[in-house]
Structure 1
Amino acid sequence: MGSRGRNRGRTQRKHFKDKRDDVWKRPKSDPSLDLNNPGTDNPAWQPFAVQNAAFDEYYKAQGIVAPEEWDVFLEILRKPLPAAFRINSSSQFCYDIRCQLEDDFMKSLQAEAIEGGEVEAIKPLPWYPEKLAWHSNFSRMQIRKNRTLERFHEFLKLENEIGNITRQEAVSMVPPLFLDVRPEHYVLDLCAAPGSKTFQLLEIIYQSIKPGSLPAGMVVANDPDVQRCNLLIHQTKRMCTANLIVTNHDGQQFPGCRSNKSIPNTREEKTELKSSINQLLFDRVLCDVPCSGDGTLRKAPDIWRKWNSGMGNGLHSLQVLIAMRGLALLKVGGRMVYSTCSMNPVEDEAVVAEILRRCGGSVELVDVSNELPELVCRPGLKKWKVRDRGVWLASYKDVPKFRRSVILPSMFPSGRGFDDQNNVNQRHENGDNINSEDGSKQVDVPVASCDDLVEEISNFPLECCMRILPHDQNTGAFFIAVLQKLSSLPAIPEKSINKQGKLDSPNNEPPENLSNQAFEDNNLEIDSEDVPDGKLSEAASEADASDDKPEKAALEPGQCNECEEHVLEQPQAPISTEVDSRTAGTKRKKQMQGKWKGVDPVVFFKDEIIMNSIKTFYGIDESFALKGHLITRNNDPNHVKRIYYVSKSVKEVLELNLQVGQQLKISSVGLKMFERQTSREGTSVPCLFRISSEGLPVILPYITKQILYSSPVDFKHLLQYKTIKFAEFVDSQFGEKASNLMMGCCVIVLRQDKSGSDPIKVDSSTIAIGCWKGRASLSVMVTAIDCQELLERLVKRMEMEEGTSVRENNGKADELQDVRSSASNGEAESMTD
């Protein structure tokens, strides 16, 4: 094999030497590559065909809208989706951003809206609390390409990158609102990437939290795809939270993490691990499952040409298993939201009905349609049909025997299975051509008209589900069901699990024994026939909010970069049904720390010398607990570069995870609090670790040393010039105090009052940055984009305080322009985070 590889290499080098033409490469001047100027001169460009006869036939027959609404529904569905975004309620600039939208952009963009035939340019979503979510009547493409909207586009990009806003489809914001999350709740986002809903959940648990304190609750965000986990981490990193764990598991096999205290632990574990919980259960679960995604047609028009009814059929089993796993991990009395961005009842109401069927009376469907009165929702369907290979099926008895591994009883409203012999007799009566020996011959099923079928009606209160349709409030489409867990789930008898690991319940009768155990450790496989390959993609719509971000994770083939939801694209390839060899057929073995392939270990930081040096150098108050709350991702204590801080709730989960053999595959956890200084000066300072920008807001109220309070003028100059010598500060006393600090990291706090009192009381409006005190100067350790954002906010606050605007004060406008230019170009050398 080695020789073949070498020969191939020589051949390739020979081809390059001979300068053979690359038939796949086109010159940059090729006009067919210019997608920004579509038209007759661009023969390669073709608009998306926004129609599909199969789509029309399917949804007309399902009756998702009244016949008189169909034309309006289809017209809206063919139009581009307006942009929407949400203000981060936990941001210290939340109020400033909302005022800027109301007082600036609503007025400045109005002329552009009137020219385009719209009544309003931007407006708050009427159903979202406190005007924190906004809707634009311009599409994302218009915002990016229209020069008049350029300032608005730059605003969205900057604030999204900082984390002050999140660009997110309006209907995607709805499910977290129905979870009724409180700060003390443990929340599981079972299919989380790209992370906009996770970010929203974190915002909710951080509501009403004082600076320096952390919520009692936490969020576990999970996704089965490694690359989308990276995207999830990038999105949630903007939140700067110590209350988040990102995991990488298949949703239907998420670990239960049940501690068995009878198993002896190592001596170290006995003394160090003291988690107060012995099983990982959640108060709230968000189950936004992978789906066919036809609710996202407005922002992903390529789905039009790919759509077929088999896409939803192939995902039904997986969706049921993921939802059941979510319910098994939910505490009794807890609430779970099941949602999709699909309009297909096989993925929506049929899944909810099967959940209720399997759970018996242990779960109820909750009607929450009145909780957001201004959100236009329609009730769920009580009846629907299944379509398979061009044939309409009203009930399971109409399914040919050779298709029964694909079309399941749970897809129909009644959920009833039928005895095979009864079906054979029925087909004899109907004159079907059946092999008389075993009845196994494939039969020719007559193609019946949809109107000729006798419809089944579900006996569950599926009208409590909610359907959001595009033409009601100019949005995408979405399906939401809220489930309340009343008692432990029924156990699954061993005989009801077949050889393939699927639930085998012909009549779908719920078992009698009540227990969650059956759902906690069984690695159930899913039906592999007609299910797309395991790259069940949730495309990262909001990821393209930062159009030029290099950090955005590469998407798998088949993933749409325009859609935020879990959108499936290739309905014919089978999904992998491989089971982890560590868990298949045997009791789960204890997973040793750091043994997950390709994942850094989670190690509690215990170096007392380093911790004491940090506490002494920064004068950290004893009330701020460091011991037991610091972790690293490196087993070697001598080469730790970053130290992360975790909340009490996350600490307990990590300890439990170690006790049970590290069943959780953790991709990201903790808030980066300290970072080793690697510069030449940094190696000679008393403390080798500096405070990171992400962790500064949490630890700021507890710092008593290496902290200074600056006037607005000197603070603004620091952000503008990045490095200032001590003698060059406007406030000479401040420069003298800075020169007297110990060499190393320090914190500069903006003193907004004019009293000059030190220290000041830290609250939600306090602005602080990390700096480096050198031999002769003070240097900012903040990224250029953070400097730009802080400068913008400072200038706007100064304008509000003085009651003037930039246009009325040309001098201030020039100063602001200089400030913005220096921030974006990075004119002065800086030590960035």
Structure 2
Amino acid sequence: MGRGRGGGGRGRGGFRGKNKKGGDRRDVRTEPWSDIRRENALFESYYKTGGFLDEKEFEQMWKYMASDLPNSFRFTGTKADALAVREIFKKRYIPAITAVEFEGEPVQPPEPVKAFPDELVWHMKTHKKVIRRYKPFAEFQRFLVAETTAGNISRQEVVSMIPPHFLDVRPGMVVLDMCAAPGSKSAQLAEMIHGDEEERVKRAASNESFNATDDGDYSDDGRSTGLLIANDTDYKRAGMLVHQVKRLNFPNLIVTQHDASIFPSIEMPPAPGSTKPQYLKFDRVLADVPCSGDGTARKNPNVWQKWTPRDGLGLHNLQLRILMRGLQLLKKGGRLVYSTCSLNPVENEAVVASAIQACGGTSKVQLVDCSNALPELIRKPGLNQWKVLDTSHINGEEKINHMFTSYESFLNTKEKYEKEEPARQFSNKITRSVFPPVDAPSEAERIPLERCVRVYPHLQDTGGFFIAVLEKLDDIKVAQPGASSKGKAGSTDATPVPVQASEHSDATPQLSAEDAVPSAPSPTKRKLEDTEDDAASKRFRTETEDPAQDATNKDGTTTSEPVNDTTSSTPGPNGTSQTPQPRLKSESQSQKEYFEYLPKDDPTVSDILSFFGISPRFPRDRFLVRNKEGLALNKMYYTSELAKTIITHNKDRGMRFIHCGVVMFVSHKIKDKDAMKAPWRLQNEGIKILEPWAGKRIITCKSRDEFYRLLIEMFPKLPKDGSHELGEVGEQLMQLDIGCCFLRIEQDESQGFPFRMVLPVWRHPGSANLMVDKDDRKAMLLRLFNEENPRIINHVMEKAKEEAEKESAEATEEAEGETEAKEEDTEMGDAPVGTE
């Protein structure tokens, strides 16, 4: 059930096939996941002797580490909707599960995780053999699947929910999620950015007063002015990300595909009275970086087989470069959260300390004491001292494990073996920056790494996780992380070099070649991908209205080759690998999707908004189309004002935008559409954004039975003359012209409506139809009417089937008649002459 992540780009268990370059990615395991022995002497030895926990507590932690991870999930969406769905879950499913007994003992039901507020996060520790045996668990599983599909539940690992809470996001803030796929944290951030805007928008649209600055910035007529940019370097993982965030239907969101370590500066319009462009700085940045993922060993058994100390050493420099870029993009006074699902200090405290030193010390960037954030979360402080593990070898054999306490001890050991065993090799990834920082001259200059947060598996039965919260106090400018402090290429004494800061010095003036194309491929987020995330990747397809781009493969991906943030290595002299100089790709190569805004006075938009009686206060200039010509052909998307500004100023600068906007209207392709006033359908995704501002074509439903009929039947009859079975809803629809309309259902516990709903309904000449797909219909029938396997009746399909069967029967009857006639003719032709 958990929606966790693997990392390191090492492939997913069970995946068979070849990568883009033809390499075999077959999983070579010979045993199933359940049979993998959760033992690794080196893995255990490092965390046992590395000074992380005392011996007794370590034994407790390691016992948890080798056990299965509880399943966990989170109620999502607006707080009101999330609480309503939570209550249905508590009242319907918890009592049924609590009543189950196994081997004479009551079964432990799902429980809320105390660390998170409002009982919106739950976990379940029940063993799989119990879950598979009893019906209440099967019913609960169906509920989870249905609500996850509907976007009301996110099945997510508990520890991965922590970083967004520490980021302290409020509506109106501009936020960057640097390594966002598959998107569960992005979904949390998006919810925080939008806050409780629905009620404020409703008041604004009704010309009632509302507080536009309470707990955030709602100055856009009650709408949050904030924005989330969710980024991932890998095209397929960006697809998972789009799949995850699209369900939330938030217009204040952009998905990009860039190497996080060189994420490009985003150009903004010049300040009033100036011609010089400005560059976007973020209020909040989340750097949940690629890591070795050893904290996920409870759900990723492959960690036990493949863990080595070089996993963390190999990722340290990339993690440092991502963190440094995040700090450059952060505003003064802004907050950045750095996190990993690894327990290795080389990937955690070492990265944080090196970044602060490279920025100029604690006067530029400070670690924030976040002990007050999630006060119920049980945690351990960050480490100020640690050891670095390396395994030396001679041609892959004769391995020796070494624990180094300082960079000098590493150099001394290496020098010793160079004399005694010249063939012995050490990791070339060990640099000064992977070790604890040297003692500071004063307490004010000391980096208080104890303010970092470590979550160990035994503390509250979770995976392992690391979080650090940093605040930017002043502008910074740093050398490229990984550059030699001695200026010697290839030196192992690599560490970021602090240089003198200057005002706005960390604003990159334009997209350089390095901004557009990284020098080496970055690993993906974790070592393993959950099956659910992989399925999302297969379902992903970039939406487009360009016919040339509409062809898709069987797995749902576009036929055009995705743009990758990598350059290929070519063989050099003596068989060495040479990486070509990065170059900025041309527009035709790099721009695979189109994002064009319609003009404010576009006649199609004007006709649609007039048809629905949309208030003139609703923005007319935020409608986006996805074709090169910028024409309203098929779909129209709605975005926030800031999203529009960013897209407009950066779409031709090499930025790779993957997704932006919420589908608001879709063209209704029928023969007589010219006779219609607005041949466009409202979409379920965007209808709640538009509905508060509508003055026409609003249908109200107050009856549970009438709504049930609309859900269970597609295209129920609504003739011009004659009776119908849609009650008051039908009577209201009868008064409307052909076209789409709003179905409004207010919260009413007496009718079983736990929260307010707005859904699109199409008024046909002889019928009506709720414009909701089958999965959403089934989710609503389960949520509101507790129907587990409803049969959705499609009158149009059934009528077509009846007509086809009738035609088939008539054709069969006609064929049989012709056969009988031929047989009769034959019999008469064979009769003797003269007989009667």
CA deviations on 1:310-354 (whole Å, 9 max, x unpaired) are 000000000000000001111000100000000111001100110
The whole-number CA distance in structure 1 between the counterparts of 2:554 and 2:657 is 20
> Which stretch has the larger CA shift, 248-257 or 134-143?
134-143
The whole-number CA distance in structure 2 between the counterparts of 1:599 and 1:109 is 49
In structure 2, what residue type is equivalent to 1:698? I
Question: Are 1:181 and 2:183 an aligned pair?
Answer: no
CA deviations on 1:687-709 (whole Å, 9 max, x unpaired) are 13211110001001112222222
> Which stretch has the larger CA shift, 230-239 or 775-784?
775-784
Q: How does 1:581-620 map to 2 (within 5 A)?
A: 581-582=583-584, 595=588, 597=590, 599-606=592-599, 608-620=602-614
In structure 2, what residue type is equivalent to 1:709? T
CA deviations on 1:159-202 (whole Å, 9 max, x unpaired) are 11100010100000000000010001101000000000000111
Question: Are 1:257 and 2:259 an aligned pair?
Answer: no
Q: 1:79 is matched with which residue?
A: 67
Q: 1:408 is matched with which residue?
A: 431
The whole-number CA distance in structure 2 between the counterparts of 1:516 and 1:142 is 60
Q: 1:393 is matched with which residue?
A: 404
Correspondent of 1:488 among 475, 494, 504: 475
Q: 2:193 is matched with which residue?
A: 205
Q: 1:429 is matched with which residue?
A: none
Q: What SS class does the counterpart of residue 643 from structure 2 fall into?
A: helix
Q: What SS class does the counterpart of residue 724 from structure 1 fall into?
A: coil
Give the 3 Å change call, closer, same or farther, for CA 403–256 of structure 1 in structure 2: farther
Correspondent of 1:652 among 633, 636, 645: 645
Q: 1:445 is matched with which residue?
A: none
Question: Are 1:240 and 2:228 an aligned pair?
Answer: no
Give the 3 Å change call, closer, same or farther, for CA 738–357 of structure 1 in structure 2: same
Q: 1:668 is matched with which residue?
A: 659
Tell me, yes or no, if the aligned pair for 1:745 and 1:770 is still in contact at 8 Å.
Answer: yes
Correspondent of 2:714 among 704, 707, 722: 722
> Which stretch has the larger CA shift, 155-164 or 607-616?
607-616
Give the CA deviation at 1:597: 2.9
The whole-number CA distance in structure 1 between the counterparts of 2:784 and 2:180 is 35
Q: How does 1:325-404 map to 2 (within 5 A)?
A: 325-360=325-360, 361-389=363-391, 390-397=401-408, 398-399=410-411, 400=414
The whole-number CA distance in structure 2 between the counterparts of 1:239 and 1:233 is 10
Q: 1:309 is matched with which residue?
A: 309
Give the CA deviation at 1:59: 1.1
The whole-number CA distance in structure 1 between the counterparts of 2:246 and 2:275 is 26
Give the CA deviation at 1:545: 7.8
Q: 1:34 is matched with which residue?
A: none
> Which stretch has the larger CA shift, 136-145 or 732-741?
136-145
Give the CA deviation at 1:636: 2.4
CA deviations on 1:462-515 (whole Å, 9 max, x unpaired) are 111010000110000000000011010134499978989999986866323335
Question: Are 1:473 and 2:460 an aligned pair?
Answer: yes
Tell me, yes or no, if the aligned pair for 1:88 and 1:164 is still in contact at 8 Å.
Answer: yes
In structure 2, what residue type is equivalent to 1:207? G
The whole-number CA distance in structure 1 between the counterparts of 2:693 and 2:332 is 38
In structure 2, what residue type is equivalent to 1:384? W
Q: 2:761 is matched with which residue?
A: 771
Tell me, yes or no, if the aligned pair for 1:78 and 1:298 is still in contact at 8 Å.
Answer: yes
Q: What SS class does the counterpart of residue 653 from structure 1 fall into?
A: helix
CA deviations on 1:508-549 (whole Å, 9 max, x unpaired) are 663233355457367779xx99x9x64424467666289899
Q: 1:7 is matched with which residue?
A: none
Q: 1:560 is matched with which residue?
A: none
Give the CA deviation at 1:608: 1.5
Q: What SS class does the counterpart of residue 634 from structure 1 fall into?
A: coil
Give the 3 Å change call, closer, same or farther, for CA 752–55 of structure 1 in structure 2: closer
Percent of pairs identical after alignment? 33
Q: 2:790 is matched with which residue?
A: 821
The whole-number CA distance in structure 1 between the counterparts of 2:187 and 2:87 is 22
Tell me, yes or no, if the aligned pair for 1:94 and 1:164 is still in contact at 8 Å.
Answer: yes
Question: Are 1:225 and 2:234 an aligned pair?
Answer: yes
Tell me, yes or no, if the aligned pair for 1:144 and 1:153 is still in contact at 8 Å.
Answer: no
Tell me, yes or no, if the aligned pair for 2:699 and 2:742 is still in contact at 8 Å.
Answer: yes
Give the CA deviation at 1:640: 2.3
In structure 1, what residue type is equivalent to 2:659? S
Question: Are 1:630 and 2:653 an aligned pair?
Answer: no
Tell me, yes or no, if the aligned pair for 1:672 and 1:695 is still in contact at 8 Å.
Answer: yes
Give the CA deviation at 1:243: 0.6
Q: 1:172 is matched with which residue?
A: 160
Q: 1:96 is matched with which residue?
A: 84
The whole-number CA distance in structure 2 between the counterparts of 1:498 and 1:691 is 63
Q: What SS class does the counterpart of residue 460 from structure 1 fall into?
A: coil
The whole-number CA distance in structure 2 between the counterparts of 1:709 and 1:479 is 50
Q: 1:296 is matched with which residue?
A: 296
In structure 1, what residue type is equivalent to 2:284? R
The whole-number CA distance in structure 2 between the counterparts of 1:576 and 1:225 is 23
> Which stretch has the larger CA shift, 489-498 or 177-186?
489-498
The whole-number CA distance in structure 2 between the counterparts of 1:755 and 1:135 is 31
Give the 3 Å change call, closer, same or farther, for CA 552–674 of structure 1 in structure 2: closer
Question: Are 1:788 and 2:757 an aligned pair?
Answer: no
Tell me, yes or no, if the aligned pair for 1:380 and 1:462 is still in contact at 8 Å.
Answer: yes
Q: 1:155 is matched with which residue?
A: 143
Give the CA deviation at 1:382: 1.0
Give the 3 Å change call, closer, same or farther, for CA 186–577 of structure 1 in structure 2: farther
Question: Are 1:748 and 2:743 an aligned pair?
Answer: yes
Q: What SS class does the counterpart of residue 745 from structure 1 fall into?
A: strand
Q: What SS class does the counterpart of residue 210 from structure 1 fall into?
A: helix
Q: 1:739 is matched with which residue?
A: 734
In structure 2, what residue type is equivalent to 1:94? A
Report the RMSD for the aligned CA atoms in angstroms: 4.0
Give the 3 Å change call, closer, same or farther, for CA 518–335 of structure 1 in structure 2: closer
In structure 2, what residue type is equivalent to 1:743? I
Tell me, yes or no, if the aligned pair for 1:179 and 1:336 is still in contact at 8 Å.
Answer: yes
Tell me, yes or no, if the aligned pair for 2:93 and 2:136 is still in contact at 8 Å.
Answer: no
Q: What SS class does the counterpart of residue 178 from structure 1 fall into?
A: helix
Q: 1:689 is matched with which residue?
A: 680
Give the 3 Å change call, closer, same or farther, for CA 219–141 of structure 1 in structure 2: farther
Give the 3 Å change call, closer, same or farther, for CA 614–508 of structure 1 in structure 2: closer
Tell me, yes or no, if the aligned pair for 1:143 and 1:153 is still in contact at 8 Å.
Answer: no
Q: What SS class does the counterpart of residue 138 from structure 1 fall into?
A: coil
The whole-number CA distance in structure 1 between the counterparts of 2:276 and 2:115 is 39
The whole-number CA distance in structure 1 between the counterparts of 2:310 and 2:456 is 22
CA deviations on 1:266-307 (whole Å, 9 max, x unpaired) are xxxx9xxx9998311110000000000000011111111000
The whole-number CA distance in structure 1 between the counterparts of 2:798 and 2:315 is 51
Tell me, yes or no, if the aligned pair for 1:492 and 1:518 is still in contact at 8 Å.
Answer: no
Q: What SS class does the counterpart of residue 373 from structure 1 fall into?
A: coil
Tell me, yes or no, if the aligned pair for 1:710 and 1:749 is still in contact at 8 Å.
Answer: yes
The whole-number CA distance in structure 2 between the counterparts of 1:102 and 1:730 is 34
The whole-number CA distance in structure 2 between the counterparts of 1:782 and 1:608 is 28
Give the 3 Å change call, closer, same or farther, for CA 405–516 of structure 1 in structure 2: farther
Q: How does 1:23-102 map to 2 (within 5 A)?
A: 47-90=35-78, 93-102=81-90
Tell me, yes or no, if the aligned pair for 2:297 and 2:303 is still in contact at 8 Å.
Answer: yes
CA deviations on 1:108-139 (whole Å, 9 max, x unpaired) are 21244765978732111111111111111136
Q: How does 1:695-706 map to 2 (within 5 A)?
A: 695-706=686-697
The whole-number CA distance in structure 2 between the counterparts of 1:674 and 1:773 is 16
Give the CA deviation at 1:613: 1.1
The whole-number CA distance in structure 2 between the counterparts of 1:507 and 1:706 is 64
Q: What SS class does the counterpart of residue 109 from structure 1 fall into?
A: helix
Q: TM-score scaled to structure 2, two decimals?
A: 0.74
Give the CA deviation at 1:551: 1.9
